Structure 1
Amino acid sequence: MIGWPLGAEQGYNAKMLAEEMGVSVVLARWADTKITKEEVSRVIKIVLDKSEGGKGDVMRKKASELPISQSTMEEATQSKHIIMFPYMAQGHLTRFLELAYRIVHHDPSFTVTIVNTPHNINNLRSAIANRPSSPSQIHLKSFPFNGSDYGLPPNSENTDGLSPSQLPLLMQACASFEAPFRQFISEVVSSEGSPLVCIITDGVMRWASDVAKSFGVFSYLFIAGAYGTTAAFSVFRNLPHLNMADGGTYDEFAVPGFPESCRFTYKDLTPRVRALDGKDEMSKLLKRGGSSSPEYNGVLCNTVEEIETFGLEVLRSYFKLPVWCVGPLIPLKLLIKNPGSNTSSGITSQRSGKKLGVEPKYCIEWLDTHPTRSVLYISFGSENAISETQMIELAKGLEDSKKPFIWVIRPPNGFDPKGDFQPEWLPSGFVDRVKKQGLVVYGWAPQLEILCHQSTGAFLSHCGWNSVLESLSQGVPLIGWPLGGEQGYNAKMLMEEMGVCVVLARWADSRITKKEVSTVIKMVLDNSKGGRGDVMRKKASEVGELMRAGVEINKGSSYNALNNFLTRCFSI
């Protein structure tokens, strides 16, 4: 063969054929290479030369020694089926659905089935229905689930509406899916045509890798960011803070798997982790979930090689498995330069299937009335809440800053997460006084539409990884207020390594004042040339450019990583 790869996995095929098998000469690569008639003529003559011992003769002999076996031909015609089982949390479900879209867009010969509870499957079905020209290769499968059997409130099927104390119950309940999942995998692998199968789950569904092994299929762990996830896994497994000399709040300690020079402090840990003693049930559950997971065949990471070089170095060292960076898993049309409101319109409902607390059109029209990069967007995600005291101080600080804002309000800790808004959560008269300054949203907001708008200048966030990627993809810097999970480690990296974040507070037990809130908001929204906000915005824009480059067809690191994964996922 004379090779001229033009897309997808063809470049890797050409490399293997030329370097490993010796049956090809590569003439050119891609549609943007320059070639001359002399090069074309020379290569053709080499390959067609039949002189004994010549390169063409040697290549021909090697090719004749490689008959295609019947099994290889059968494999080429087998259907390819990826089965996904995300944890029952909005951020996880959204991330998995976007990965499914990306896979079938990249290679339409794949079928992807997402498995979950009936309520979550209905939300995914709505999200798919809201998306224009949804691919037929994405299927949904529900397993019965009764949260009351596990001490959860009636009709609880995900983290939405659960208190922090109830989240461990949901995690423990995930083990109940092993039997129906095993039965489903059995049906798939034994179906007509014997399809090629692999499984993708996140860390909570650890038993899925054992199911995969029992059927001889490969399984992969799907995580968020590299730095934050690795830190969380290692802390859960090792509880390094228990070894501090005196347990002081400001003691520094190393986290196993990270370089000794990378120090963590007590304040980087969530209150829940600080409370663990290594012997309680939560410690045991998290320790199992934080093991280095040799039973997986590889790791998919929702990040880009170029934005997390240090984190990925640590991740690969910790897991000692192949790692594919396939992010950012946000809609591709939002990764074009300055997508604008028309491009982003309706995108949130196409991802979550959730009913919004405010119409996207209203938000966009409100944002249209404000100057470029002047508005602060505030949201703490679907699983997190601050305290009532913190909420009041945050409101006072917002009002004092006099900066325009959109604030997504959820019930504070100690109140029914699904309950109606209560006036006492905010300072008396606050909503009326800030009518011209801000927009208060109860429930879900069209986050992507807001972040894509040119008037949005900063994002006060819990630093969940999905939100981080959505914000930085649009060049919007962050004000960090981590509230759980790996968010504290994300915030640490965003501030110390990337310079795109200022941390205002940590956790729901920290004390803040309206002055601290107002000062940080003014600093980050200050567009003065050379100021802190200006520098952060420029760095955030640079990260956004790296994200766009990562998904560029045939060239981007994430595009090529996904391509590499799909060519290897059934037989590493």
Structure 2
Amino acid sequence: MDSTPTRPAQVAVCPSAGIGHLTPFLRLASMLTSNSCSVTLIIIRPTLSFAEANQINTFLSTHPHITASEFHILPCEPSSNSNIQDPFLLQYDAVSRSAHLLVHHLATLSPPPSAVFSDLMFASGINKPLYDLGIPNYNVITSSARFFSFMTSLTHLRVTRGDDVVIPGLAPIVGDDIPPIFSNTDHMFTRLIETSCRYLQDAKGIVLNSFDFFEPESISALQNGKVLAGLPSVFPVGPFIPYGSINGDNIPWLDNQPSKSVVYVSFGSKTVMSKDQIREIGDGLERSGLRFLWVIKTTVVDKEDKEELRDLLSEAFFENTKERGLILREWVNQEKILAHPAIGGFLTHCGWNSVMEAAQRGIPLLAWPLHGDQRVNAGEVEKAGLGIWERSWGWIGERLVKGDEIAMKIQEMMTSEKLRASATRVWDEATKAWEKNGSSRKMFETIIGDKVST
């Protein structure tokens, strides 16, 4: 009988730019390490935000067995994208243009990887070469299964602004829920997504940060080949498991608040509201009479965020809410805040990381999707019973949502027993997905056992 110990699989984990792409990959890296894989984390250089740099440093300090390898991408080219102002979109473009260089970078690792988990933004440059080399490569999707279904359809679908989109196996996607940029085939991001999806067929598999209960229709349609023929195996293994301590973040103010009494307000790592809209949100929180923890951003890149709160909000606001509100400017560990027993609801942009983090804790959501995949995500939140959505608030900047409207919806989220019960059910199902024989656990064990282990 051969008693030679099994050699750990050498796995490379390759996130793209931005904290929204980095966070799920760090969780996945931790999950792989916990399942006896030897992990090398590819770190994109340069990083755009303090949040990314801080998160990487914290993660590596708490995961000493994970090796870091820096990958320097090509410079951004604003001159060729003169109509694009978003630094993160320019960074995504730079990542995609650099993807072919990543293949050589991976080859220099010692020992070389026996499997790769990579962001979709790398697909055009690495999927085919890794396939030819016989190295299993799993494309990790950082959005919902439903929005991913839409993205894959861009390879053969013409999007007309305002028209519903029909995808085989799915209920139609409402035209107003599709980001306007996708009706412009010449837009840099539209081209980037379409090109990336054309290379999905060369991946070993597609990993989704979602689970069967939350998105049954989309997951089933993807797995059964209804959305797009020729896709590789689809593995829903969400919600990705948090790494590190699950206790609440070190915010003493939260510890002094009653259970489920605090509204957490955050619109993600790069969403910037107008000053007028920030003031209306403040008015809504004041009118609601509820306790709140509010994370405010005034610039897309946090390194440039220097606006003083006193210049944004009135002295009367601070005076009237000083006993029941806390405002933070710095990046926070959101998964730990949502784990705190004082949190009772979450006013969110419906970025997919935020949705899955709330699902893991059964936190009711008030969805305020602002751009990108977020309106499609908000629809999934409603269907699953995790939250409510006021569609009339529109995309970011379409109209000024007034404080009395915001207060009314916040109160609805925090007082609805029906919503709290359905959100608790989502929590239960998210937990079951990772229990023995749970859907996500079985899918992850399939990847580890059949695809990655050597």
Q: Work out whether residues 477 and 536 of structure 1, in 8 Å CA contact, stay in contact via their aligned partners in 2.
A: yes
CA distance in 2, matches of 1:456, 1:487: 22
Q: Say yes or no: does 1:201 pair with 2:85.
A: no
Q: Say yes or no: does 1:144 pair with 2:30.
A: no
1:99 positional shift: 1.0
Change (3 A) 1:468 1:455: same
Alignment-derived partner of residue 213 in structure 1: 131
* 1:292-343 CA-partner distances (Å, limit 9, x unpaired): 7211121111122233211201322335321222221132787xxxxxxxx4
CA distance in 2, matches of 1:416, 1:571: 41
Provide the secondary structure at the position in 1 that maps to 2:138. Answer: strand
Q: Work out whether residues 114 and 140 of structure 1, in 8 Å CA contact, stay in contact via their aligned partners in 2.
A: yes
Q: Work out whether residues 127 and 199 of structure 2, in 8 Å CA contact, stay in contact via their aligned partners in 1.
A: no
* 1:215-261 CA-partner distances (Å, limit 9, x unpaired): 2212111113543432441465456541xxxx6x5x5x2332343xx
CA distance in 2, matches of 1:525, 1:390: 22
Q: Work out whether residues 401 and 519 of structure 1, in 8 Å CA contact, stay in contact via their aligned partners in 2.
A: yes
**What RMSD in Å do the two structures reach over aligned CA positions?**
3.1
Change (3 A) 1:238 1:123: farther
Q: Work out whether residues 197 and 570 of structure 1, in 8 Å CA contact, stay in contact via their aligned partners in 2.
A: yes
With structure 2 as the length reference, what TM-score do the two structures score? 0.86
Letter in 2 for 1:369: N
Letter in 2 for 1:463: C
Change (3 A) 1:264 1:77: closer
State which of 284, 287, 292 in structure 1 corresponds to 2:191.
Answer: 284
Q: Say yes or no: does 1:127 pair with 2:48.
A: no
Alignment-derived partner of residue 503 in structure 1: 389
Provide the secondary structure at the position in 1 that maps to 2:114. Answer: strand
1:118 positional shift: 4.1
With structure 1 as the length reference, what TM-score do the two structures score? 0.69
Change (3 A) 1:379 1:484: same
1:405 positional shift: 0.5
State which of 206, 212, 215 in structure 2 corresponds to 1:299.
Answer: 206
Q: Say yes or no: does 1:456 pair with 2:384.
A: no
State which of 247, 253, 277 in structure 2 corresponds to 1:344.
Answer: 247
- Give the structure with higher Rg (CA): 1
Q: Say yes or no: does 1:394 pair with 2:315.
A: no
1:74 positional shift: 13
Q: Work out whether residues 299 and 322 of structure 1, in 8 Å CA contact, stay in contact via their aligned partners in 2.
A: yes
Alignment-derived partner of residue 31 in structure 2: 102
Provide the secondary structure at the position in 2 that maps to 1:463. Answer: coil
CA distance in 2, matches of 1:450, 1:196: 35
Alignment-derived partner of residue 479 in structure 1: 366
Gaps of 5+ in 2: none
Letter in 2 for 1:182: V
Q: Work out whether residues 83 and 198 of structure 1, in 8 Å CA contact, stay in contact via their aligned partners in 2.
A: yes
Gaps of 5+ in 1: 1-67, 153-162, 335-342, 346-359, 527-532
1:462 positional shift: 1.0
CA distance in 1, matches of 2:343, 2:309: 28
Map 1:224-243 onto structure 2 (within 5 A).
224-234=142-152, 236-237=154-155, 240-242=158-160
Q: Work out whether residues 228 and 487 of structure 1, in 8 Å CA contact, stay in contact via their aligned partners in 2.
A: no
CA distance in 2, matches of 1:471, 1:415: 24
Letter in 2 for 1:479: L
Alignment-derived partner of residue 169 in structure 1: 90
Q: Say yes or no: does 1:545 pair with 2:440.
A: no
Alignment-derived partner of residue 114 in structure 1: 41
State which of 8, 19, 35 in structure 2 corresponds to 1:90.
Answer: 19
CA distance in 2, matches of 1:479, 1:225: 19
Q: Say yes or no: does 1:313 pair with 2:246.
A: no
Change (3 A) 1:544 1:164: farther
Provide the secondary structure at the position in 2 that maps to 1:306. Answer: coil
* 1:26-56 CA-partner distances (Å, limit 9, x unpaired): xxxxxxxxxxxxxxxxxxxxxxxxxxxxxxx
* 1:440-484 CA-partner distances (Å, limit 9, x unpaired): 111212322321122211100111111111112111110111122
Q: Work out whether residues 362 and 423 of structure 2, in 8 Å CA contact, stay in contact via their aligned partners in 1.
A: yes
Alignment-derived partner of residue 448 in structure 2: 566
CA distance in 2, matches of 1:119, 1:414: 13
Letter in 2 for 1:300: V
Q: Work out whether residues 18 and 88 of structure 2, in 8 Å CA contact, stay in contact via their aligned partners in 1.
A: no
CA distance in 2, matches of 1:77, 1:437: 55
Map 1:315-394 onto structure 2 (within 5 A).
315-316=222-223, 317=225, 318-319=227-228, 320-331=231-242, 343-345=246-248, 360-361=249-250, 363=251, 365-394=252-281
Between the aligned residues of both structures, percent identity stands at 24
CA distance in 2, matches of 1:551, 1:214: 34
Q: Work out whether residues 165 and 175 of structure 2, in 8 Å CA contact, stay in contact via their aligned partners in 1.
A: no
Change (3 A) 1:436 1:272: farther
CA distance in 2, matches of 1:523, 1:485: 26
Alignment-derived partner of residue 403 in structure 2: 514
Change (3 A) 1:470 1:79: closer
Change (3 A) 1:279 1:196: closer
Alignment-derived partner of residue 493 in structure 1: 380
Change (3 A) 1:78 1:489: same
Provide the secondary structure at the position in 2 that maps to 1:490. Answer: helix
Tell which deviates more after alignment, 452-461 or 287-296: 287-296
Letter in 1 for 2:357: E
1:366 positional shift: 2.0
Change (3 A) 1:114 1:475: same
Change (3 A) 1:283 1:164: same
Change (3 A) 1:327 1:434: same
Q: Say yes or no: does 1:186 pair with 2:107.
A: yes
Change (3 A) 1:237 1:390: farther
Change (3 A) 1:461 1:184: same
State which of 272, 293, 302 in structure 2 corresponds to 1:406.
Answer: 293
Alignment-derived partner of residue 466 in structure 1: 353
CA distance in 1, matches of 2:9, 2:314: 57
Letter in 2 for 1:498: A
Letter in 1 for 2:395: W
Q: Work out whether residues 234 and 256 of structure 1, in 8 Å CA contact, stay in contact via their aligned partners in 2.
A: no
1:403 positional shift: 1.0
